[in-house]
Structure 1
């Protein structure tokens, strides 16, 4: 496992809900792949990164541990969980049911300028991959997906998706650089965008399903060759 991970501050503000703000920032980092499997988390390093006291950092970590997004060892050390390929495949099967559904709903509910927003995210993704800034590319890939799921307008569906992404977000960083360089995700996103332009909800859902399946298969291949480490 690597050492304690620090995340960049994103304007955490003072107030009565400081713990919630730290929780949301840490949670968003997990969703977007800012953390990698095996990364250690400490309240001290988190509080230092965000400029807050230890208490809200401890509480935020504890909340996410209760949600299963952070692993707690027998010695009470916190770290990002390491999924094996069977666990990742199980979650993928559920994602493939929920996320195309959200995509289909988004086609029916999206605003007129939504396609331009998706195109901008996807082109930024392409540029980051070409520059071999794979961490930024993964964050943009996450933004592409989560922006669509937000547009679906279903708080219940988004919560279900987020629950799964909290578990798999860090493991998505295992996607090989070779796979990313081939721009498979970028091209799949273009198919999603094309379906949005045609207002074809079924085609958008199918393109999203293909993107999820291909990406998951590539990650599972890596996981089969690099089993998770033990504590």
Structure 2
């Protein structure tokens, strides 16, 4: 249940302000209330969900200030993770990263926002998981859970030009920098993205 909610938050399937009850979600997932309540509690501790007075939870609304703060944290963590990953990425890893980049570009060009958000996560984390720092990966994922619902809404209305507004060239720049073993350039491209 927890991992399903994490994926839903990161991919923007859950919307800011959306309310959920453990009983309703348990029924939808075909499970009991206990694992749902446990997942809710974990996600509240990570600030990905907010408690409501009646025992339900809500996907938090995000202010412009909070979004900027989370963006600042993302750029620091993700840039550092990318630069650290340079030391551990080998030829097989690089081929997988390149494949994820190609799939991400195709998703952007297709205008499918849901597919794009999934492929964006796959691409970025195919790099970050090589940083050698599990705590950093955990923190990046935690921030993604908080901004995911909001990022999906930023893209709504631009489906016809996802490739144009999403700067897919940055993804290619990241891959080129990794191929060149240029950590600073890879960091800069991830941060710009």
Same fold (TM over 0.5): yes
Q: Write out aligned runs for 1:1-231 (5 A).
A: 22-176=1-155, 177-178=157-158, 180-182=162-164, 184-211=166-193
Distance in 2 between residues matched to 1:166 and 1:82, nearest whole Å: 13
Q: How much does 1:183 deviate?
A: 5.4
8 Å CA contact 1:40–1:79 kept in 2: the answer is: yes
Aligned length: 190
Per-residue CA deviation, residues 29-83 of structure 1 (Å, 9 max, x unaligned), is 3233332212222223332343222211122112212321102223333121110
User: Relative contact order (C-alpha < 8 Å, sep 6+): which is higher?
Assistant: 2
Secondary structure (helix, strand or coil) at the match of 1:35 reads: coil
- The residue that corresponds to 1:215 in the other structure is none
TM-score by length of 2: 0.89
Q: How much does 1:136 deviate?
A: 1.3
Per-residue CA deviation, residues 88-147 of structure 1 (Å, 9 max, x unaligned), is 001111221111000001111113122221222222222223332111111111221122
Instruction: Provide the aligned C-alpha RMSD in A.
Output: 1.9
In structure 2, list runs of 5 or more residues that go unmatched. Answer: none
TM-score by length of 1: 0.75
Distance 1:125 1:183, change over 3 A: farther
Distance in 2 between residues matched to 1:161 and 1:103, nearest whole Å: 12
